[in-house]
Amino acid sequence: MRPSLGTLSLLGDAYLGLDRVDEARRAFERVLDGHRSTSGPDHPLTLFASTKLGFALRRSGEHEQAKNLLLGVQAIATEVLEADHPIMDMLRIIQQD
């Protein structure tokens, strides 16, 4: 039985908490791929998964890749989400780091 995308996302969070960044990244990549294929690129779940992957990329030292991903998320999120949406808050927090 394959884990659900929600379970994989929680697993990625747990890996990040344990500083197992490469495993977190792989989990978030699977979540992102799943949401892109089922919900499309501008769905909030896809944007949330992209944001989590961007954070994992930054933690793994891949700053340029993280920046590019998060800028793409921000561009889409600005178009499809309200300014007070939690994803917008996450993007603001990540940019402050």
pTM: 0.89
Task: Please write the tens of the pLDDT for every residue from 61-79.
Answer: 999 999 999 999 999 998 9
User: What's the mean pLDDT in 9-25?
Assistant: 97
Rounded to whole angstroms, how far apart are CA atoms 52 and 87? 10
For residue 55, give every residue at least 6 positions away whose Cβ sits within 8 Å of its Cβ, in sequence order, or none.
Answer: 16, 66, 94
State the chain's mean pLDDT as an integer: 92
Alpha helices in the chain (DSSP H): 5-17, 21-39, 44-59, 63-80, 86-96
Closest CA to 31 of 3, 55, 58: 3
Count CB atoms within 10 A of the CB of residue 31: 27
pLDDT at 94 over 90: no
Q: Give the residue, 96 or 78, on which the prediction is more confident.
A: 78
Query: What are the domain boundaries of the chain?
Result: 5-96
CATH superfamily ID and name for 5-96: Tetratricopeptide repeat domain (1.25.40.10)
